[in-house]
Amino acid sequence: MENQVIKVRNLVKKFGRFVANDNLSFDVYEGEIFGFLGANGAGKTTAIRILSGLSAPTSGEVIVAGFDANKQSEKIKKNIGYMCQKFSLYEDLTVKENITLYGGIYGMSKQLIKERTGELLEKLNFRDYENRLIADLPLGLRQKLAFSVAILHEPKIVFLDEPTGGVDPITRRQFWEMIYETATRGINVFVTTHYMDEAEYCDRISIMSEGRIVALDTPEQLKKQYKAASVEEVFIKIARPVVN
Amino acid sequence: MNRFLGFIKKEFLHIFRDYRTLFILFGIPAAQILIFGYAVSMDIKNAGIAFLDLSHDEITMELTDKIISSGFFKKTETLLSYSDVDKVFKKGKTKAVIIFESNFGKKLVSEGKASLSIIADGSEPNTATLVTNYTTAIVNNFNLRFAGDASLNSVRIQPEVKMFYNPNLKSHFMFVPGVITLILILICALMTSVTITREKEFGTMEVLLVSPLRPIQIILGKVMPYFILSFINVILILALSWFVFGLPVKGSMVLLLAESMLYILMSLTLGILISTLSGTMQQAIFISLIGLMLPSILLSGFIFPIENMPKVYDYVSMIMPPRYFIVIIKNIMIKGTGLAYIWKETLILIIMTAVFTGISVRKFKIRLE
């Protein structure tokens, strides 16, 4: 069997009487791009917050990058990258300052930060923007930069919580190219989205509904299983019956 | 440690890039000191005063001269009859009218007493009180010299005790400590609560929490720059009051600065507490300004003496930190007393700091859940 980078067994998260995550169990294997799909309020963000150590599970076993989320969340934090729905760079700092700040927070040496900054700016064609404030950059560029910053310290896993919200289709396309490139470098990508076309790009996807995982497989298998032409159809077939 | 320093540097960048923050930090305190020092002055200077002298003798003339030459008053009119009093007030320039009864001088010489009325314009209660107080003081003073040793003991005490620590009746001596007290708590609490809620609102707080930085480091890193800047602020305000108003610090400067540090720390922890209670910057601003400013001004003893309040307000004011710091700072600055006289207030501020920190840490953890 391949190596698991994330192992979740019987994860439950309750807020008072509300059950946000109801008995989740799944694995993410090394090198995978793992997609988390679901309508708003399905429990995606809660799950990603638990996996990234932001929030403690009510019960269940959660192992991320080899560490137990119940006891070793500090160690998990050093080995993951995170990019959230909301934009996560400081608008009143320059591109370079943001990179330096996050590099520093993750304990990278000055030398290393400098090297990586150079590579990163080169790769994104960002040389001219180095000393520009983030506030002056268009949204697409900011989003790409935010992703690059999230993987600056070469984490084992990077969590992307709806990273492409509000971005134009071309930038989304480029963004996914970056995600692929990242995965080939050996960084696992765990991404939540509600764009169904994006789900097609993932190696495996899990579909959540009302706090539960209702389907989990490769996009091809799911389409076959539900006799659907696209993941979107799969999603509608799975998610709808509950409502109607 | 490196992580932490980089984080602090970032906070300084935020502050220095935002001219509004800088203005609030340094502009407002300076403006407040000057406004309170000059405009909201409780002193009177050249207040209009009119005289109705029904006696017209040497003594009334001398007393009139004395009042006018005191520098507090300016003579507006000489009235001829009682009916003019109302008219002269309606014109608005006259704040008080002094009336000498007929045969004032004769009575004073023969009977040893004569009566004089001071009528003040009650539509401006503050000025009215001040004007009557000032004129009474001048008259008492005059009495004293006139009557000689016999009545010396009975009249001397009243004006002097009241103004003991402020012999020239300079009200900015009272205001500067009050303004420092008010400004520090407002700015520290406002700034920290806003800077923390800003990170929450922009989503950067999540990223910080996911990072290896510990929550305590995040909080310290956010608060530290404000601690340093507020401390510089105290020094600036003290320097400003020294250069502009000639207000000295009578007691130990070291003690004053140490107490200021404690008070800043208390205000910062209060700001952190506010940030844990509010989700948005607007809420934080609202709580800081409305929740702190009015009670601080009204209930701290800054403007209205606590002794004169109903007991209920007295109790309410006990939870207002400015109440204690104002005592501390007045004692050190104006009276020059040492720690022996203010240890109680100091202790209360320390306890408050501890309590605020305790609650914030708890709240912060709950939020992480």
Domain boundaries defined on chain A = 4-243
From the list A54, A56, A89, the residue facing B206 with the nearest CB is: A54
Helix (H) or strand (E) holding B198: helix B172-202
Chain A residue nearest residue B198, CA to CA: A90
From the list B3, B13, B214, the residue facing A93 with the nearest CB is: B13
pLDDT in tens, chain B (369 residues): 677 888 899 999 988 888 888 888 888 888 887 877 666 555 677 788 889 888 888 888 888 888 888 888 888 888 888 888 888 888 878 888 888 888 887 877 777 677 778 888 777 666 777 777 888 888 877 777 766 545 443 333 233 333 333 444 455 566 778 888 888 888 889 889 998 898 888 888 888 888 888 888 888 888 999 999 999 999 988 888 888 877 788 889 999 999 999 999 999 999 999 988 888 888 888 888 888 888 887 777 777 777 777 888 888 888 888 889 988 998 898 888 888 889 999 999 999 999 998 888 887 765 554
Which of A90, A91, A142 is the best mutation test for B, with the most CBs of B within 10 A?
A: A90
- Domains, chain B, in order of start with CATH, read 2-40+170-368 (no CATH), 47-162 (3.40.1710.10)
Tell which residue, B259, B267, B256, B127, has the closest CA to residue B190.
Answer: B267
A4-243, which class in CATH? alpha beta
* Interface residues of chain A, partner chain B, Cβ below 8 Å: 52-56, 74, 77-78, 80, 82-93, 97, 100-102, 104-107
Contact call for B203 and A85, based on CB within 8 A: yes
Task: Output phi, psi for A153, to 5 deg.
Answer: -90, 15
Q: Which residues contact B323 (CB under 8 A, 6 or more apart)?
A: B299, B300, B301, B306, B317
Spatial separation of the C-alpha atoms in residues A1 and A199, rounded to whole Å: 24
Contact call for A105 and B206, based on CB within 8 A: no
Task: Look at the pTM and tell me if it is higher than 0.90.
Answer: no
> What is the DSSP code string of A64-80?
ETTEETTT-HHHHHHHE
Phi/psi-derived region of residue B71, left when phi > 0, alpha when psi is between -120 and 50, beta in every other case: left
Minimal CA separation from A56 to chain B, in Å: 6
